[in-house]
């Protein structure tokens, strides 16, 4: 585990690819909403962007306090559980789990949109390409955290370099007096209605809510503090500050250039007067093409790395979702399998579950980023608000236990920061719910409670099972009154002989062999062969007029149990083992069905007696030599 800890240069791409990549589409989402009121309302982009930057500063500062206060990982679930109780913690967890799935879907689909902006011929295959990238990310994350960090470093740093290079080109050309216009600047934007008064306020709030996608993934670092090299909290807080600085400057730069170049976007190309079926370039693609002018190679460079970081931004969720699912599984709110690490020290089951959920979402929404993004960020701000409220209570508890003036001053400052953070994110949550509810966010408001109650039900199940399995301190293991052995036979062969021999070795009180008569001639042949071998074990033949094997066997075993309820019946099932998996599909199916039914029969013990055929022995020897 120690060898997988991350230095800051690798932690940045691992945990920050989501918030860094969000700047690629955050400005476009603002323009997209304001375009509903026509070009006259695009000037509001300045105010909306300024509010988002202020919010980003507050959230980054708030989570820096969390990194220091929770060096073992201070995500919304851990902070809420520690300070606000289990109900708040599960609310935060359900919000985050839904949001992580949406992060993968939105990031990958947005990345594919960047690819299709440079290569429009691929637009018809967006769903297939998106699913392929999710599978690729899954494989990379299953390789391990440190290996994935190295793989993701190149696209992340390449994207940041490309954006700042674009800013340099734009500044030089604008200062030189060039008149730069986006390719969509001449296209008209038709207002969908008249916006004034309250309607204008609601439209601006909706644009603000859409632009807040720039904040997604900020809390990932506070979740992943344990993955940093020592000093963990300091390195995590520093990485968070660097991420905040990069995100703010890139977001502002892209927004300034979008307004300077008069970038026009709409929910569909026809709203810009383009022919039906035309693939409209993204806002960032238009800005890059206009900024670099004739230097086409740099345009394709930015598009390639934009696609790369957007697709790899899903890595934030691939780190956060499995870790959160593991914590929930440890607390018995999710299946225990999600708590298990694989041989690469990653939570393999959580990674696979996240991939399947994201693929389902991509296919359901046909890789349409505008449709999926309407579901986005509600979970983000639910977790933000609960986490920051939990931090306020955390500082209250710490202040009550601390008398040192210097530490108290620091705690007071941290509490103020987290109070401002909780207030701001709470207000934004209300705005997001109001403005996005009818545009698809209602799906999330249903999914989150369903997940909440599912986790509650799983927890009740585990508690119920634990209660039934518990024993008092003075409990002792009591043997059954008697043990009756039943060997199931269908014919006399080597597995049958082994099963009879093993049944005798446990010295049961009684032993008998049981067969079901399906073909009278075969049953008679078995009787004669049984008497000829003199097994010293009585053979019981059960009639089955409907040629069924499982039901007569179960009825006979239950009859033995009813005769002596304090006794146990041990059923021995001979099976032969082949070396290839497909060979197993051709044999032992009746035994599998019978064992499944016997497991639900009280007082019955089921013992499989395997007999390895030559193919299985050879396979075992090959595996032994290989190891």
At 189-225, the pLDDT tens digits run 776 667 777 888 888 888 888 888 888 878 878 877 8
Q: Rounded to two decimals, what is the model's pTM?
A: 0.73
Residue closest to 357 by CA, chosen among 152, 119, 30, 103 = 103
More confident residue, 51 or 587: 51
Measured CA distances, 131 to 31, 104, 237, 368, 610 (Å): 28, 11, 34, 13, 42
The span from the CA of 22 to the CA of 213, in Å, is: 6
Q: Please compute the mean of the pLDDT values over residues 315-344 and round it to a whole number.
A: 81
Whether the predicted pLDDT of 273 surpasses 60 = no
For range 503-515, the mean pLDDT: 92
CA 167, 168, 172, 178 dihedral sign is: negative
pLDDT higher than threshold 60 for residue 229: yes
**Whole-number Å distance between alpha carbons of 228 and 10:** 9
The pLDDT assigned to 469 comes to 83
Q: What is the pLDDT of residue 620?
A: 61
Helices (H), 229-343: 232-260, 283-292, 296-312, 314-330
Is residue 407 helix, strand or coil? Answer: helix
The C-alpha atoms of residue 402 and residue 408 are separated, in whole angstroms, by: 7
- Residues linked to residue 6 through DSSP beta bridges, in sequence order: 228
Are 249 and 51 in contact, with CB atoms under 8 Å apart?
no
Cis check: omega of the bond before 577, within 30 degrees of 0: no
CA gap 414, 284 in Å, rounded: 37
Residue 349 in contact with residue 90, Cβ under 8 Å?
no
CATH architecture of residue range(s) 482-626? 3-Layer(aba) Sandwich (3.40)
| Length of the chain, in residues | 627
pLDDT of residue 149: 59
pLDDT band at 48 (very low <50, low <70, confident <90, very high): very high
**CA-based nearest residue to 184, from 382, 28, 20, 390:** 28
Q: What pLDDT is stored for residue 353 in this prediction?
A: 92
Per-residue pLDDT, 24? 84
- Chain-centroid distance of CA 522 in Å reads 55
Q: pLDDT (tens digit, 9 = 90+) per residue, 392-437?
A: 999 999 888 888 888 889 889 989 999 998 998 899 888 888 877 7
Q: How far apart are CA 338 and CA 322, in angstroms?
A: 7
Contacts of 91 (CB under 8 A, 6+ apart): 80, 382, 386, 448, 452
* pLDDT at residue number 145: 53
Q: How far apart are CA 107 and CA 22, in angstroms?
A: 8
d(C-alpha 302, C-alpha 308), whole Å: 10
The pLDDT of residue 570 is 93
Main-chain phi, psi angles of 455, to 5 degrees: -65, -40
Here the contacts of 437-443 (C-beta below 8 Å, separation 24 or greater) are 439/374, 440/371, 440/374, 440/375, 441/374, 441/375, 441/378, 443/375
Indicate whether 580 pLDDT > 80.
Answer: no
The residue among 397 and 184 whose pLDDT is bigger is: 397
> What are phi and psi for residue 71, nearest 5 degrees?
-65, -15
Domain definitions of the chain by residue range? 8-461, 482-626
Instruction: Determine the pLDDT at residue 582.
Output: 64
Q: For the residues 321-342, what does the mean pLDDT come to?
A: 84
DSSP code per residue over 186-223: TS----SS---THHHHHHHHHHHHHHGGGGTTTTHHHH
Which whole number is the average pLDDT over 39-56?
88
Q: What is the dihedral angle through the alpha carbons of 66, 72, 74, 78, rounded to the nearest 10 degrees?
A: -140
Number of H helices, E strands in the chain: 23, 5
Average pLDDT over residues 346-374: 84
34-43 mean pLDDT: 81
**pLDDT above 60 for 271:** no
pLDDT of residue 168: 94
**Nearest CA among 205, 252, 195 for reference residue 54:** 252
Top CATH class, 8-461? mainly alpha
Task: Name every residue whose Cβ is closer than 8 Å to that of residue 24 and which is 6 or more positions away in sequence.
Answer: 110, 114, 159, 254, 282, 284, 306, 309, 310
DSSP tag of 299: H
Q: What is the pLDDT of residue 324?
A: 84
- Answer whether 542's CB lies under 8 Å from 514's CB: yes
Query: What are the tens digits of pLDDT across the range 120-145?
Result: 888 888 899 999 989 988 887 787 65
Query: Average of pLDDT values for 536-552?
Result: 85
Task: Check whether 531 has a pLDDT greater than 80.
Answer: yes
33, 374 in Cβ contact below 8 A?
A: no
| Tokens 């902070």 found at | 79
Indicate the burial class of 153 (C-beta count within 10 angstroms; 0-12, 13-18, 19 or more): middle
- What are 259's two structure tokens? 């307004």
- What is the average per-residue pLDDT within 23-36? 86
Report the percent of the chain where pLDDT is more than 90: 25
DSSP letter assigned to residue 564? -
- Residue for token digits 């300024």? 50
Residue 488 phi, psi (nearest 5): -85, 130
- DSSP lists the bridge partners of residue 573 as 608
Instruction: Round the average pLDDT of the chain to a whole number and report it.
Output: 84
Res 71 pLDDT > 80 = yes
Whole-angstrom CA distances from 245 to 19, 251, 541 are 11, 10, 81
In this predicted structure, the answer to whether residue 278 has a pLDDT above a threshold of 80 is no
Contact 83, 386 (CB under 8 A): no
Spatial CA neighbour of 307 closest among 104, 122, 111: 111
For residue 623, is pLDDT > 70?
no
């Amino acid at each position: 585990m120690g060898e997988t800890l991350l230095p800051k240069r690798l932690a940045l791409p691992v945990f920050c690819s989501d918030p860094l990549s969000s700047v690629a589409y955050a400005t476009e989402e603002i323009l997209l909403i304001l375009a509903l009121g026509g070009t006259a309302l695009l000037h509001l982009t300045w105010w909306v962007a300024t509010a988002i930057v202020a919010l980003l500063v507050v959230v980054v500062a708030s989570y820096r306090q969390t990194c220091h206060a929770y060096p073992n990982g201070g995500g919304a679930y851990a902070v809420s559980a520690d300070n606000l109780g289990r109900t708040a913690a599960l609310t935060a967890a359900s919000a985050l789990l839904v949001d992580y799935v949406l992060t993968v879907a939105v990031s990958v689909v947005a990345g594919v949109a960047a690819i299709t902006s440079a290569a429009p011929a691929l637009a018809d295959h967006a769903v297939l390409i998106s699913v392929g990238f999710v599978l690729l990310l899954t494989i990379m994350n299953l390789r391990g955290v440190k290996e994935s960090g190295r793989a993701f470093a190149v696209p992340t740093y390449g994207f940041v370099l490309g954006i700042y290079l674009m800013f340099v080109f734009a500044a030089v050309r604008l200062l030189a007096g060039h008149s730069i216009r986006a390719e969509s600047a001449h296209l008209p934007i038709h207002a969908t209605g008249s916006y004034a008064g309250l309607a204008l306020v609601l439209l601006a709030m909706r644009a603000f809510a859409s632009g807040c996608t720039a904040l997604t993934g900020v809390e990932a670092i506070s979740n992943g503090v344990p993955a940093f090299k020592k000093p963990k909290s300091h390195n995590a807080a520093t990485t968070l500050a660097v991420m905040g600085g990069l995100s703010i400057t890139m977001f502002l730069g892209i927004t300034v250039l979008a307004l300077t170049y008069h970038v026009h976007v709409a929910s569909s190309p026809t709203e810009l007067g383009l022919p039906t079926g035309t693939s409209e370039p993204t806002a960032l693609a238009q800005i890059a093409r206009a900024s670099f002018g004739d230097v086409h190679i740099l345009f394709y460079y930015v598009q390639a790395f934009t696609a790369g970081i957007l697709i790899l931004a899903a890595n934030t969720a691939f780190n956060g979702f499995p870790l959160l699912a593991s914590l929930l599984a440890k607390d018995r709110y999710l299946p225990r399998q999600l708590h298990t690490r694989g041989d690469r020290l990653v939570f393999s089951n959580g990674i696979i579950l996240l991939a399947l959920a994201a693929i389902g979402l991509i296919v359901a929404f046909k890789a349409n980023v505008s449709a999926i993004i309407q579901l986005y960020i509600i979970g983000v701000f639910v977790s933000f608000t609960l986490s920051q409220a939990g931090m306020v209570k955390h500082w209250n508890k710490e202040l009550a236990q601390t008398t040192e003036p210097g530490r108290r001053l620091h705690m007071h400052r941290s509490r103020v920061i987290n109070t401002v953070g909780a207030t701001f994110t709470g207000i934004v949550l209300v705005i997001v719910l109001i403005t996005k509810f009818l545009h698809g966010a209602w799906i999330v408001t249903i999914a989150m409670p369903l997940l909440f109650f599912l986790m509650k039900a799983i927890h009740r199940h585990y508690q119920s099972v634990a209660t039934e399995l518990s024993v008092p301190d003075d409990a002792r293991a009591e043997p059954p009154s008697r043990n009756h052995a039943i060997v199931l036979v269908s014919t006399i062969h080597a597995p049958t002989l082994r099963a009879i021999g093993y049944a005798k070795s446990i010295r049961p009180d009684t032993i008998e062999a049981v067969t079901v008569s399906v073909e009278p001639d075969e049953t008679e042949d078995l009787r004669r062969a049984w008497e000829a071998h003199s097994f010293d074990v009585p053979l019981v033949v059960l009639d089955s007029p409907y040629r069924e094997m499982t039901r007569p066997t179960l009825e006979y075993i239950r009859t033995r149990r009813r005769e002596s309820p304090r006794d146990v019946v041990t059923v021995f099932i001979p099976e032969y083992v082949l070396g290839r998996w497909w060979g197993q599909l051709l044999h032992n199916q009746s035994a599998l069905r019978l064992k499944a039914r016997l497991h639900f029969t009280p007082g019955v013990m089921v013992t499989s007696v395997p007999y390895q055929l030559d193919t299985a022995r050879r396979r075992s020897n090959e595996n032994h030599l290989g190891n």
